[in-house]
Structure 1
Amino acid sequence: MRVGRSPAVRLRRLSGELMRLRGEAGFTREDVALRLGVANSTVYRIETGHTRPQGRTMRDLLDLYGVGGSERTALLELAREAARRGWWHAFGDVLPGPYVGLEAEASSVRNYEPLLVPGLLETEAYARAVVGAALVKDPAEIERRITVRMERQRRLTGPEAVDLWVVMDEAALRRPVGGPAVMAEQLRRLGEVARQPNVTIQVLPFESGAYLGMGNPLAILTFPDPEDPDVVFLENMGGELYLEGSEQVRGYVQVFDHLRAAALGPESSLEKIESVEKEMAGR
Protein backbone atom coordinates (compact mmCIF):
# COMPACT_ATOMS: atom_id res chain seq x y z
CA MET A 1 0.00 0.00 0.00
CA ARG A 2 1.55 3.28 -1.06
CA VAL A 3 1.96 6.23 1.27
CA GLY A 4 -1.00 8.59 1.25
CA ARG A 5 -3.54 6.01 0.11
CA SER A 6 -6.91 7.63 0.46
CA PRO A 7 -9.48 6.26 2.91
CA ALA A 8 -12.13 7.66 0.55
CA VAL A 9 -11.06 5.15 -2.12
CA ARG A 10 -10.85 2.30 0.42
CA LEU A 11 -14.37 3.10 1.66
CA ARG A 12 -15.63 3.13 -1.92
CA ARG A 13 -14.18 -0.33 -2.55
CA LEU A 14 -15.46 -1.66 0.78
CA SER A 15 -19.02 -0.51 0.08
CA GLY A 16 -18.93 -2.20 -3.31
CA GLU A 17 -17.70 -5.47 -1.82
CA LEU A 18 -20.39 -5.46 0.87
CA MET A 19 -23.11 -4.82 -1.68
CA ARG A 20 -21.78 -7.68 -3.84
CA LEU A 21 -21.69 -10.05 -0.87
CA ARG A 22 -25.25 -9.20 0.11
CA GLY A 23 -26.44 -9.92 -3.40
CA GLU A 24 -24.60 -13.24 -3.53
CA ALA A 25 -26.11 -14.20 -0.16
CA GLY A 26 -29.60 -13.48 -1.48
CA PHE A 27 -30.54 -10.76 1.02
CA THR A 28 -32.31 -7.47 0.42
CA ARG A 29 -31.24 -4.37 2.32
CA GLU A 30 -34.40 -4.70 4.38
CA ASP A 31 -33.43 -8.29 5.29
CA VAL A 32 -30.00 -7.15 6.47
CA ALA A 33 -31.41 -4.26 8.50
CA LEU A 34 -33.89 -6.59 10.21
CA ARG A 35 -31.31 -9.27 11.05
CA LEU A 36 -28.75 -6.78 12.36
CA GLY A 37 -31.28 -4.62 14.19
CA VAL A 38 -30.33 -1.42 12.37
CA ALA A 39 -32.24 1.08 10.26
CA ASN A 40 -32.66 0.47 6.52
CA SER A 41 -30.96 3.81 5.94
CA THR A 42 -27.86 2.56 7.77
CA VAL A 43 -27.45 -0.34 5.34
CA TYR A 44 -28.04 2.02 2.42
CA ARG A 45 -25.39 4.48 3.66
CA ILE A 46 -22.86 1.68 4.15
CA GLU A 47 -23.42 0.28 0.66
CA THR A 48 -23.24 3.69 -1.00
CA GLY A 49 -20.03 4.67 0.78
CA HIS A 50 -21.58 7.47 2.80
CA THR A 51 -20.56 5.88 6.09
CA ARG A 52 -18.08 3.27 7.27
CA PRO A 53 -19.43 0.25 9.18
CA GLN A 54 -18.16 0.20 12.76
CA GLY A 55 -16.18 -2.83 13.93
CA ARG A 56 -19.06 -4.84 15.34
CA THR A 57 -21.38 -4.02 12.42
CA MET A 58 -18.66 -5.05 9.98
CA ARG A 59 -18.17 -8.40 11.72
CA ASP A 60 -21.93 -8.96 11.89
CA LEU A 61 -22.25 -8.31 8.17
CA LEU A 62 -19.49 -10.78 7.35
CA ASP A 63 -21.07 -13.38 9.66
CA LEU A 64 -24.45 -12.90 7.98
CA TYR A 65 -22.93 -13.27 4.52
CA GLY A 66 -20.90 -16.32 5.56
CA VAL A 67 -17.53 -14.75 4.81
CA GLY A 68 -14.49 -16.36 6.43
CA GLY A 69 -10.84 -17.16 5.87
CA SER A 70 -8.59 -14.91 3.84
CA GLU A 71 -11.48 -12.99 2.32
CA ARG A 72 -12.73 -12.02 5.77
CA THR A 73 -9.24 -10.95 6.84
CA ALA A 74 -8.82 -8.82 3.71
CA LEU A 75 -12.19 -7.11 4.17
CA LEU A 76 -11.53 -6.33 7.84
CA GLU A 77 -8.19 -4.80 6.86
CA LEU A 78 -9.94 -2.81 4.15
CA ALA A 79 -12.38 -1.49 6.76
CA ARG A 80 -9.46 -0.46 8.98
CA GLU A 81 -7.81 1.38 6.07
CA ALA A 82 -11.10 3.17 5.37
CA ALA A 83 -11.14 4.40 8.97
CA ARG A 84 -7.91 6.37 8.58
CA ARG A 85 -8.29 10.13 8.38
CA GLY A 86 -6.78 12.10 5.50
CA TRP A 87 -5.74 15.75 5.86
CA TRP A 88 -9.05 16.85 4.30
CA HIS A 89 -11.14 15.41 7.13
CA ALA A 90 -10.25 18.47 9.19
CA PHE A 91 -12.09 20.55 6.57
CA GLY A 92 -15.26 18.47 6.45
CA ASP A 93 -17.37 21.52 7.26
CA VAL A 94 -16.41 23.16 3.95
CA LEU A 95 -16.24 20.03 1.78
CA PRO A 96 -19.69 18.87 0.63
CA GLY A 97 -18.62 15.47 -0.70
CA PRO A 98 -15.76 12.96 -1.08
CA TYR A 99 -14.17 14.54 -4.17
CA VAL A 100 -11.02 15.85 -2.48
CA GLY A 101 -10.36 12.46 -0.88
CA LEU A 102 -10.73 10.71 -4.24
CA GLU A 103 -8.53 13.30 -5.95
CA ALA A 104 -5.84 12.72 -3.32
CA GLU A 105 -5.58 9.08 -4.44
CA ALA A 106 -6.08 9.50 -8.20
CA SER A 107 -3.21 8.78 -10.55
CA SER A 108 -4.78 10.94 -13.26
CA VAL A 109 -7.50 13.57 -13.54
CA ARG A 110 -9.18 14.63 -16.78
CA ASN A 111 -11.05 17.87 -16.25
CA TYR A 112 -13.24 20.06 -18.47
CA GLU A 113 -14.15 23.54 -17.26
CA PRO A 114 -16.33 25.95 -19.28
CA LEU A 115 -16.22 29.05 -17.06
CA LEU A 116 -13.59 28.82 -14.32
CA VAL A 117 -9.98 27.78 -13.85
CA PRO A 118 -9.83 24.33 -12.18
CA GLY A 119 -9.16 24.35 -8.45
CA LEU A 120 -5.86 22.50 -8.89
CA LEU A 121 -4.54 25.43 -10.95
CA GLU A 122 -5.95 28.45 -9.12
CA THR A 123 -3.84 31.17 -7.57
CA GLU A 124 -4.76 32.21 -4.05
CA ALA A 125 -6.12 35.58 -5.22
CA TYR A 126 -8.24 33.96 -7.93
CA ALA A 127 -9.55 31.34 -5.50
CA ARG A 128 -10.45 34.06 -3.01
CA ALA A 129 -12.48 35.88 -5.68
CA VAL A 130 -14.31 32.66 -6.63
CA VAL A 131 -15.16 31.85 -3.01
CA GLY A 132 -16.33 35.41 -2.44
CA ALA A 133 -18.63 35.19 -5.45
CA ALA A 134 -20.22 32.10 -3.86
CA LEU A 135 -21.67 34.40 -1.19
CA VAL A 136 -19.43 33.03 1.55
CA LYS A 137 -19.18 35.90 4.03
CA ASP A 138 -17.67 34.27 7.12
CA PRO A 139 -13.94 35.19 7.04
CA ALA A 140 -12.97 31.96 8.82
CA GLU A 141 -14.86 29.83 6.30
CA ILE A 142 -13.31 31.73 3.41
CA GLU A 143 -9.82 31.04 4.75
CA ARG A 144 -10.59 27.35 5.25
CA ARG A 145 -11.86 27.03 1.70
CA ILE A 146 -8.74 28.74 0.37
CA THR A 147 -6.51 26.49 2.48
CA VAL A 148 -8.16 23.38 1.02
CA ARG A 149 -7.61 24.65 -2.55
CA MET A 150 -3.95 25.40 -1.93
CA GLU A 151 -3.37 22.08 -0.13
CA ARG A 152 -4.88 20.15 -3.05
CA GLN A 153 -2.23 21.59 -5.35
CA ARG A 154 0.48 19.54 -3.65
CA ARG A 155 -0.70 16.73 -5.94
CA LEU A 156 0.87 18.54 -8.92
CA THR A 157 4.45 17.98 -7.77
CA GLY A 158 6.58 15.29 -6.16
CA PRO A 159 7.30 11.64 -6.98
CA GLU A 160 3.61 10.70 -7.05
CA ALA A 161 2.35 13.79 -8.88
CA VAL A 162 -1.03 13.38 -10.51
CA ASP A 163 -1.27 13.42 -14.32
CA LEU A 164 -3.59 16.31 -15.04
CA TRP A 165 -5.24 16.94 -18.43
CA VAL A 166 -7.41 20.05 -18.54
CA VAL A 167 -9.63 21.33 -21.33
CA MET A 168 -10.86 24.88 -20.71
CA ASP A 169 -13.24 27.03 -22.69
CA GLU A 170 -11.73 30.35 -23.72
CA ALA A 171 -14.42 31.97 -21.55
CA ALA A 172 -12.53 30.72 -18.49
CA LEU A 173 -9.48 32.68 -19.66
CA ARG A 174 -11.27 35.90 -20.47
CA ARG A 175 -13.61 36.25 -17.51
CA PRO A 176 -11.71 38.74 -15.26
CA VAL A 177 -12.36 36.96 -11.96
CA GLY A 178 -11.04 39.27 -9.24
CA GLY A 179 -10.27 41.96 -11.81
CA PRO A 180 -7.71 42.18 -14.66
CA ALA A 181 -4.64 42.15 -12.38
CA VAL A 182 -5.75 39.01 -10.52
CA MET A 183 -6.66 37.37 -13.82
CA ALA A 184 -3.32 38.25 -15.39
CA GLU A 185 -1.53 36.61 -12.45
CA GLN A 186 -3.78 33.56 -12.83
CA LEU A 187 -2.98 33.25 -16.53
CA ARG A 188 0.74 33.48 -15.83
CA ARG A 189 0.27 30.64 -13.36
CA LEU A 190 -1.47 28.57 -16.04
CA GLY A 191 1.42 29.20 -18.41
CA GLU A 192 3.93 28.03 -15.81
CA VAL A 193 2.04 24.88 -14.83
CA ALA A 194 1.34 23.97 -18.47
CA ARG A 195 5.09 23.45 -18.90
CA GLN A 196 5.21 20.71 -16.26
CA PRO A 197 5.56 17.21 -17.79
CA ASN A 198 2.56 15.87 -15.87
CA VAL A 199 0.19 18.69 -16.87
CA THR A 200 -1.56 19.25 -20.22
CA ILE A 201 -3.77 22.27 -20.80
CA GLN A 202 -5.90 22.76 -23.90
CA VAL A 203 -8.13 25.70 -24.74
CA LEU A 204 -11.39 25.54 -26.67
CA PRO A 205 -11.38 28.83 -28.62
CA PHE A 206 -14.51 30.86 -29.25
CA GLU A 207 -14.13 30.35 -33.00
CA SER A 208 -14.77 26.62 -32.62
CA GLY A 209 -18.45 27.42 -32.07
CA ALA A 210 -20.68 24.82 -30.43
CA TYR A 211 -19.16 21.52 -29.32
CA LEU A 212 -20.15 18.27 -27.63
CA GLY A 213 -20.42 18.61 -23.85
CA MET A 214 -20.40 22.41 -23.94
CA GLY A 215 -21.13 24.10 -20.63
CA ASN A 216 -21.17 21.03 -18.36
CA PRO A 217 -18.02 20.79 -16.19
CA LEU A 218 -16.76 17.30 -15.50
CA ALA A 219 -13.83 15.42 -14.03
CA ILE A 220 -12.78 11.83 -14.67
CA LEU A 221 -10.58 10.30 -11.98
CA THR A 222 -8.43 7.22 -12.58
CA PHE A 223 -6.71 5.33 -9.76
CA PRO A 224 -3.43 3.40 -9.62
CA ASP A 225 -5.04 0.16 -8.45
CA PRO A 226 -6.97 -1.56 -11.27
CA GLU A 227 -9.47 -2.83 -8.69
CA ASP A 228 -10.63 0.77 -8.23
CA PRO A 229 -12.67 1.76 -11.32
CA ASP A 230 -12.73 5.26 -12.75
CA VAL A 231 -15.11 7.82 -11.27
CA VAL A 232 -16.89 10.63 -13.14
CA PHE A 233 -17.57 13.71 -11.04
CA LEU A 234 -20.29 16.17 -12.08
CA GLU A 235 -21.22 19.33 -10.20
CA ASN A 236 -24.02 21.85 -10.55
CA MET A 237 -26.21 24.11 -8.42
CA GLY A 238 -28.11 21.05 -7.22
CA GLY A 239 -25.04 19.37 -5.72
CA GLU A 240 -22.50 16.71 -6.62
CA LEU A 241 -22.95 13.52 -8.63
CA TYR A 242 -20.54 10.59 -8.82
CA LEU A 243 -20.86 8.01 -11.60
CA GLU A 244 -19.08 4.65 -11.49
CA GLY A 245 -20.97 2.41 -13.92
CA SER A 246 -18.72 1.26 -16.73
CA GLU A 247 -21.11 2.39 -19.46
CA GLN A 248 -21.60 5.80 -17.85
CA VAL A 249 -17.87 6.31 -17.41
CA ARG A 250 -17.19 5.20 -20.98
CA GLY A 251 -19.69 7.74 -22.26
CA TYR A 252 -18.01 10.61 -20.45
CA VAL A 253 -14.56 9.46 -21.54
CA GLN A 254 -15.82 9.73 -25.13
CA VAL A 255 -17.15 13.22 -24.40
CA PHE A 256 -13.77 14.26 -23.00
CA ASP A 257 -12.01 12.82 -26.05
CA HIS A 258 -14.29 14.93 -28.27
CA LEU A 259 -13.42 18.00 -26.18
CA ARG A 260 -9.70 17.33 -26.57
CA ALA A 261 -10.08 16.89 -30.31
CA ALA A 262 -12.05 20.13 -30.67
CA ALA A 263 -9.58 22.17 -28.59
CA LEU A 264 -6.34 23.81 -29.63
CA GLY A 265 -3.24 21.67 -29.19
CA PRO A 266 -1.09 22.23 -26.08
CA GLU A 267 1.38 24.56 -27.84
CA SER A 268 -1.31 26.70 -29.46
CA SER A 269 -3.23 26.71 -26.17
CA LEU A 270 -0.18 28.08 -24.36
CA GLU A 271 0.08 30.82 -26.97
CA LYS A 272 -3.59 31.65 -26.42
CA ILE A 273 -3.09 31.81 -22.64
CA GLU A 274 -0.09 34.11 -23.02
CA SER A 275 -1.96 36.33 -25.47
CA VAL A 276 -4.92 36.80 -23.12
CA GLU A 277 -2.54 37.38 -20.19
CA LYS A 278 -0.97 40.31 -22.07
CA GLU A 279 -4.43 41.76 -22.69
CA MET A 280 -5.33 41.47 -19.01
CA ALA A 281 -2.03 43.02 -17.96
CA GLY A 282 -2.51 45.89 -20.42
CA ARG A 283 0.67 45.13 -22.29
Structure 2
Amino acid sequence: MPHQPLEPTVRRRRLGQTLRKLRNGAGMTLEDAAAAMEWKVPKLSKIENARQQIRTAEVTELLKAYGVTDPEVFTALENLAKDAGKKGWWQTYSGVVSSAYADYISLEDDAERICEWTPLVIPGLLQTAAYARETMTETAESRTPEEIMALAEVRQARQAVLTRPGKPLQLWAIIHEAALHQRFEVRPATMRDQLEKLLNASEMPNVTIQIMPLDSTAHPGIFGGFGLVSFPGPTPDVVLLENLSGATYVEGDGAQPFAHAVERIRAAALSVEDSLARIAQLEEGHRK
Protein backbone atom coordinates (compact mmCIF):
# COMPACT_ATOMS: atom_id res chain seq x y z
CA MET A 1 0.00 0.00 0.00
CA PRO A 2 1.43 3.46 -0.87
CA HIS A 3 2.53 5.62 2.05
CA GLN A 4 -0.12 8.17 3.03
CA PRO A 5 1.17 11.74 3.38
CA LEU A 6 1.20 13.08 6.92
CA GLU A 7 -1.66 15.36 7.90
CA PRO A 8 -0.18 18.86 8.47
CA THR A 9 -1.91 19.65 11.77
CA VAL A 10 -1.69 23.09 13.34
CA ARG A 11 0.72 21.73 15.96
CA ARG A 12 3.06 20.40 13.26
CA ARG A 13 2.83 23.66 11.32
CA ARG A 14 3.74 25.67 14.45
CA LEU A 15 6.73 23.40 15.06
CA GLY A 16 7.87 23.56 11.44
CA GLN A 17 7.53 27.35 11.25
CA THR A 18 9.51 27.81 14.44
CA LEU A 19 12.30 25.49 13.32
CA ARG A 20 12.51 27.34 10.01
CA LYS A 21 12.70 30.69 11.81
CA LEU A 22 15.50 29.42 14.07
CA ARG A 23 17.39 27.99 11.08
CA ASN A 24 17.17 31.32 9.25
CA GLY A 25 18.23 33.11 12.43
CA ALA A 26 21.31 30.92 12.56
CA GLY A 27 22.14 31.91 8.98
CA MET A 28 21.87 28.33 7.71
CA THR A 29 20.36 27.13 4.46
CA LEU A 30 18.33 23.93 4.20
CA GLU A 31 21.42 22.29 2.77
CA ASP A 32 23.61 23.48 5.66
CA ALA A 33 21.19 22.26 8.31
CA ALA A 34 20.54 18.93 6.60
CA ALA A 35 24.29 18.33 6.30
CA ALA A 36 24.79 19.13 10.00
CA MET A 37 22.16 16.50 10.86
CA GLU A 38 23.39 14.05 8.19
CA TRP A 39 19.93 14.12 6.63
CA LYS A 40 18.77 14.48 3.08
CA VAL A 41 17.45 17.95 2.29
CA PRO A 42 13.88 16.77 1.50
CA LYS A 43 13.53 15.38 5.04
CA LEU A 44 14.19 18.75 6.67
CA SER A 45 12.03 20.52 4.10
CA LYS A 46 9.11 18.21 4.87
CA ILE A 47 9.57 18.75 8.62
CA GLU A 48 9.49 22.53 8.18
CA ASN A 49 6.39 22.22 6.01
CA ALA A 50 4.62 19.91 8.53
CA ARG A 51 4.72 16.97 6.11
CA GLN A 52 6.96 14.72 8.18
CA GLN A 53 7.24 13.88 11.85
CA ILE A 54 10.33 14.69 13.86
CA ARG A 55 11.31 12.86 17.03
CA THR A 56 11.97 14.74 20.25
CA ALA A 57 15.64 13.71 20.24
CA GLU A 58 15.99 15.05 16.67
CA VAL A 59 14.51 18.40 17.73
CA THR A 60 17.11 18.58 20.50
CA GLU A 61 20.00 17.94 18.08
CA LEU A 62 18.59 20.35 15.51
CA LEU A 63 18.36 23.15 18.07
CA LYS A 64 21.96 22.52 19.11
CA ALA A 65 22.99 22.77 15.47
CA TYR A 66 21.22 26.15 15.31
CA GLY A 67 23.13 27.38 18.34
CA VAL A 68 20.06 27.60 20.59
CA THR A 69 20.95 27.71 24.28
CA ASP A 70 17.72 28.84 25.96
CA PRO A 71 16.35 25.87 27.96
CA GLU A 72 12.79 27.21 27.59
CA VAL A 73 13.06 26.95 23.81
CA PHE A 74 14.26 23.36 24.09
CA THR A 75 11.39 22.47 26.43
CA ALA A 76 8.71 24.18 24.34
CA LEU A 77 9.75 22.61 21.03
CA GLU A 78 10.50 19.19 22.44
CA ASN A 79 7.03 19.12 23.99
CA LEU A 80 5.48 20.31 20.75
CA ALA A 81 7.21 17.52 18.83
CA LYS A 82 6.08 14.98 21.42
CA ASP A 83 2.47 16.19 21.27
CA ALA A 84 2.23 16.85 17.52
CA GLY A 85 0.29 13.68 16.84
CA LYS A 86 -1.19 13.24 20.30
CA LYS A 87 -4.87 12.43 20.55
CA GLY A 88 -6.80 14.45 23.10
CA TRP A 89 -10.08 13.94 24.96
CA TRP A 90 -11.91 15.48 22.01
CA GLN A 91 -11.17 12.39 19.90
CA THR A 92 -14.04 10.76 21.79
CA TYR A 93 -16.29 13.10 19.82
CA SER A 94 -14.68 12.45 16.43
CA GLY A 95 -18.09 11.76 14.91
CA VAL A 96 -19.17 15.39 15.39
CA VAL A 97 -15.89 17.29 15.81
CA SER A 98 -14.37 18.22 12.44
CA SER A 99 -10.62 18.08 11.92
CA ALA A 100 -10.47 21.90 11.88
CA TYR A 101 -12.35 22.10 15.18
CA ALA A 102 -10.11 19.40 16.70
CA ASP A 103 -7.10 21.45 15.62
CA TYR A 104 -8.46 24.49 17.43
CA ILE A 105 -9.18 22.54 20.61
CA SER A 106 -5.58 21.30 20.56
CA LEU A 107 -4.45 24.93 20.24
CA GLU A 108 -6.50 25.89 23.30
CA ASP A 109 -4.95 22.97 25.13
CA ASP A 110 -1.42 24.19 24.30
CA ALA A 111 -2.08 27.91 24.66
CA GLU A 112 -0.76 30.23 27.33
CA ARG A 113 -3.29 32.97 26.58
CA ILE A 114 -6.10 33.78 24.19
CA CYS A 115 -7.50 37.18 23.32
CA GLU A 116 -10.90 36.81 21.72
CA TRP A 117 -13.00 39.49 20.04
CA THR A 118 -16.59 38.35 19.50
CA PRO A 119 -19.01 40.87 17.97
CA LEU A 120 -22.08 38.61 17.82
CA VAL A 121 -21.82 35.73 20.30
CA ILE A 122 -20.47 34.92 23.74
CA PRO A 123 -17.02 33.24 23.47
CA GLY A 124 -17.22 29.44 23.64
CA LEU A 125 -15.00 29.27 26.72
CA LEU A 126 -17.55 31.38 28.61
CA GLN A 127 -20.82 29.86 27.36
CA THR A 128 -23.35 28.02 29.48
CA ALA A 129 -24.49 24.64 28.20
CA ALA A 130 -27.97 26.02 27.51
CA TYR A 131 -26.63 29.00 25.54
CA ALA A 132 -24.39 26.67 23.51
CA ARG A 133 -27.31 24.37 22.67
CA GLU A 134 -29.64 27.22 21.74
CA THR A 135 -27.16 29.02 19.48
CA MET A 136 -26.03 25.82 17.75
CA THR A 137 -29.61 24.67 17.21
CA GLU A 138 -30.29 27.87 15.29
CA THR A 139 -27.05 27.93 13.29
CA ALA A 140 -26.10 24.27 12.67
CA GLU A 141 -29.10 23.34 10.55
CA SER A 142 -27.56 20.11 9.24
CA ARG A 143 -26.94 18.72 12.74
CA THR A 144 -29.22 16.25 14.49
CA PRO A 145 -30.42 16.96 18.06
CA GLU A 146 -27.99 14.27 19.27
CA GLU A 147 -25.09 15.96 17.51
CA ILE A 148 -26.08 19.33 18.97
CA MET A 149 -26.02 17.82 22.46
CA ALA A 150 -22.59 16.29 21.80
CA LEU A 151 -21.18 19.58 20.50
CA ALA A 152 -22.54 21.40 23.55
CA GLU A 153 -20.75 18.85 25.74
CA VAL A 154 -17.53 19.52 23.83
CA ARG A 155 -17.89 23.25 24.37
CA GLN A 156 -18.31 22.72 28.10
CA ALA A 157 -15.35 20.32 28.26
CA ARG A 158 -13.13 22.89 26.53
CA GLN A 159 -13.62 25.25 29.47
CA ALA A 160 -11.43 23.02 31.65
CA VAL A 161 -8.39 24.94 30.32
CA LEU A 162 -9.49 27.88 32.48
CA THR A 163 -9.08 25.84 35.66
CA ARG A 164 -6.29 23.44 34.71
CA PRO A 165 -3.63 22.88 37.40
CA GLY A 166 -0.37 24.78 37.23
CA LYS A 167 -0.89 27.34 34.48
CA PRO A 168 -4.54 27.93 33.62
CA LEU A 169 -5.24 29.60 30.30
CA GLN A 170 -5.23 33.41 30.42
CA LEU A 171 -8.39 34.57 28.64
CA TRP A 172 -9.11 38.16 27.63
CA ALA A 173 -12.57 38.33 26.05
CA ILE A 174 -13.91 41.46 24.35
CA ILE A 175 -17.62 41.02 23.63
CA HIS A 176 -19.82 43.42 21.72
CA GLU A 177 -22.79 44.60 23.75
CA ALA A 178 -25.12 43.47 20.95
CA ALA A 179 -24.33 39.85 21.89
CA LEU A 180 -25.66 40.50 25.39
CA HIS A 181 -29.09 41.48 24.06
CA GLN A 182 -29.76 38.11 22.41
CA ARG A 183 -33.23 36.73 23.16
CA PHE A 184 -34.35 33.09 23.29
CA GLU A 185 -38.13 32.83 23.01
CA VAL A 186 -38.47 29.18 24.03
CA ARG A 187 -36.12 29.46 27.05
CA PRO A 188 -36.03 33.14 28.07
CA ALA A 189 -33.89 32.39 31.15
CA THR A 190 -31.01 31.30 28.89
CA MET A 191 -29.58 34.81 28.49
CA ARG A 192 -30.03 35.67 32.17
CA ASP A 193 -28.05 32.59 33.17
CA GLN A 194 -25.43 33.37 30.53
CA LEU A 195 -24.93 36.89 31.87
CA GLU A 196 -24.61 35.48 35.38
CA LYS A 197 -21.93 33.08 34.13
CA LEU A 198 -19.97 36.00 32.66
CA LEU A 199 -20.05 37.77 36.02
CA ASN A 200 -18.91 34.63 37.82
CA ALA A 201 -16.14 33.98 35.29
CA SER A 202 -14.86 37.54 35.68
CA GLU A 203 -13.98 36.72 39.29
CA MET A 204 -11.36 34.25 38.09
CA PRO A 205 -7.87 35.83 38.18
CA ASN A 206 -7.03 34.51 34.72
CA VAL A 207 -10.19 35.82 32.99
CA THR A 208 -10.68 39.43 31.87
CA ILE A 209 -13.90 40.57 30.20
CA GLN A 210 -14.53 43.84 28.39
CA ILE A 211 -17.70 44.97 26.66
CA MET A 212 -17.73 46.96 23.44
CA PRO A 213 -20.60 49.45 23.87
CA LEU A 214 -23.26 49.98 21.22
CA ASP A 215 -22.07 53.58 20.80
CA SER A 216 -18.36 52.79 20.50
CA THR A 217 -16.01 54.64 18.20
CA ALA A 218 -14.76 52.92 15.04
CA HIS A 219 -12.09 50.25 15.61
CA PRO A 220 -10.44 47.37 13.66
CA GLY A 221 -12.94 44.88 15.09
CA ILE A 222 -15.68 46.14 12.75
CA PHE A 223 -14.27 43.79 10.12
CA GLY A 224 -15.21 40.68 12.13
CA GLY A 225 -14.38 38.53 15.12
CA PHE A 226 -11.22 36.53 15.72
CA GLY A 227 -9.26 34.71 18.38
CA LEU A 228 -5.54 35.43 18.90
CA VAL A 229 -3.89 32.38 20.45
CA SER A 230 -0.44 32.72 22.07
CA PHE A 231 1.87 30.00 23.36
CA PRO A 232 4.80 29.67 25.76
CA GLY A 233 8.26 29.67 24.26
CA PRO A 234 9.18 30.81 20.75
CA THR A 235 6.27 29.32 18.77
CA PRO A 236 4.32 31.94 16.80
CA ASP A 237 0.79 33.15 17.50
CA VAL A 238 -2.14 31.64 15.62
CA VAL A 239 -5.33 33.49 14.69
CA LEU A 240 -8.67 31.75 14.25
CA LEU A 241 -11.26 33.22 11.88
CA GLU A 242 -14.67 31.52 11.89
CA ASN A 243 -17.60 31.65 9.51
CA LEU A 244 -20.47 29.43 8.36
CA SER A 245 -18.20 27.35 6.15
CA GLY A 246 -15.73 26.52 8.93
CA ALA A 247 -12.49 27.85 10.34
CA THR A 248 -9.49 29.56 8.77
CA TYR A 249 -6.11 29.89 10.48
CA VAL A 250 -3.70 32.78 10.08
CA GLU A 251 -0.24 31.73 11.19
CA GLY A 252 3.29 33.07 11.51
CA ASP A 253 3.91 36.68 10.50
CA GLY A 254 0.31 36.95 9.27
CA ALA A 255 -0.89 37.00 12.88
CA GLN A 256 0.97 40.23 13.71
CA PRO A 257 -1.68 42.67 12.39
CA PHE A 258 -4.25 40.99 14.64
CA ALA A 259 -2.02 41.51 17.68
CA HIS A 260 -1.92 45.25 16.87
CA ALA A 261 -5.69 45.28 16.26
CA VAL A 262 -6.35 43.74 19.69
CA GLU A 263 -4.80 46.75 21.43
CA ARG A 264 -7.02 49.17 19.54
CA ILE A 265 -10.13 47.07 20.14
CA ARG A 266 -9.39 46.94 23.87
CA ALA A 267 -8.94 50.72 23.91
CA ALA A 268 -12.33 51.27 22.24
CA ALA A 269 -14.15 48.98 24.71
CA LEU A 270 -15.46 49.89 28.15
CA SER A 271 -13.06 49.53 31.06
CA VAL A 272 -13.21 46.22 32.91
CA GLU A 273 -15.11 47.82 35.80
CA ASP A 274 -17.64 49.53 33.53
CA SER A 275 -17.99 46.34 31.49
CA LEU A 276 -18.95 44.29 34.53
CA ALA A 277 -21.37 47.00 35.61
CA ARG A 278 -23.05 46.85 32.17
CA ILE A 279 -23.34 43.05 32.36
CA ALA A 280 -24.78 43.26 35.87
CA GLN A 281 -27.29 45.88 34.75
CA LEU A 282 -28.51 43.69 31.90
CA GLU A 283 -28.61 40.60 34.12
CA GLU A 284 -30.74 42.48 36.64
CA GLY A 285 -33.08 43.52 33.84
CA HIS A 286 -33.79 39.87 33.08
CA ARG A 287 -34.97 39.36 36.66
CA LYS A 288 -37.68 42.01 36.52
Question: Following the alignment from structure 1 to structure 2, what is the Cα–Cα distance between the partners of residues 196 and 109?
Answer: 15
Q: Percent identity?
A: 36
Q: Which residue of 2 aligns with 1:40?
A: none
Q: Which residue of 1 aligns with 2:285?
A: 279
Q: Which residue of 2 aligns with 1:250?
A: 256
Question: Following the alignment from structure 2 to structure 1, what is the Cα–Cα distance between the partners of residues 219 and 59?
Answer: 52
Residue 153 of structure 1 is aligned with which of 159, 166, 178?
Answer: 159
Q: Deviations 1:15-34 (Å, cap 9, x if unpaired)?
A: 336777897139xxxxxxxx
* 8 A contact 2:59–2:78 mirrored in 1: no
Residue 98 of structure 2 is aligned with which of 76, 95, 103?
Answer: 95
Residue 220 (structure 1) aligned with residue 228 (structure 2) = yes
Number of residue-to-residue matches in the alignment: 251
Residue 70 (structure 1) aligned with residue 61 (structure 2) = yes
Given residue 11 of structure 1, which amino acid in structure 2 is its aligned partner?
R
Question: Following the alignment from structure 1 to structure 2, what is the Cα–Cα distance between the partners of residues 258 and 105?
Answer: 26
* 8 A contact 1:110–1:220 mirrored in 2: yes
Residue 128 of structure 1 is aligned with which of 103, 123, 133?
Answer: 133
Question: Following the alignment from structure 2 to structure 1, what is the Cα–Cα distance between the partners of residues 19 and 113?
Answer: 27
* 8 A contact 1:9–1:228 mirrored in 2: no
Question: Following the alignment from structure 2 to structure 1, what is the Cα–Cα distance between the partners of residues 224 and 88?
Answer: 29
Give the alignment's Cα RMSD to 1 decimal: 3.4
Residue 140 (structure 1) aligned with residue 146 (structure 2) = yes
- Single out whichever of 230-239 and 269-278 deviates more from structure 2: 230-239
Question: Following the alignment from structure 1 to structure 2, what is the Cα–Cα distance between the partners of residues 103 and 14?
Answer: 16
- Normalised to the residue count of structure 1, the TM-score between the two structures is 0.75
The 3 A distance-change label for structure 1 pair 84 and 114 is: same
Q: Which residue of 1 aligns with 2:68?
A: none
Question: Following the alignment from structure 1 to structure 2, what is the Cα–Cα distance between the partners of residues 19 and 68?
Answer: 12
Residue 205 of structure 1 is aligned with which of 204, 213, 217?
Answer: 213
- Single out whichever of 133-142 and 264-273 deviates more from structure 2: 133-142
* 8 A contact 2:111–2:230 mirrored in 1: yes
Q: Deviations 1:152-187 (Å, cap 9, x if unpaired)?
A: 111111432111101111011001246431100100
Given residue 224 of structure 2, which amino acid in structure 1 is its aligned partner?
N
SS for the counterpart of 1:99 is helix
Question: Following the alignment from structure 2 to structure 1, what is the Cα–Cα distance between the partners of residues 201 and 273?
Answer: 13
Q: In the TM superposition, what are the counterparts of 1:1-283 in structure 2 within 5 Å?
A: 10-16=11-17, 24-25=30-31, 49=50, 53=52, 70-71=61-62, 79-93=81-95, 94-97=97-100, 98-133=103-138, 134-158=140-164, 159-177=166-184, 179-225=187-233, 227-246=234-253, 248-281=254-287, 283=288
* 8 A contact 1:114–1:215 mirrored in 2: no
Question: Following the alignment from structure 1 to structure 2, what is the Cα–Cα distance between the partners of residues 266 and 155?
Answer: 22
SS for the counterpart of 1:228 is coil
The 3 A distance-change label for structure 1 pair 165 and 69 is: closer
SS for the counterpart of 1:90 is helix
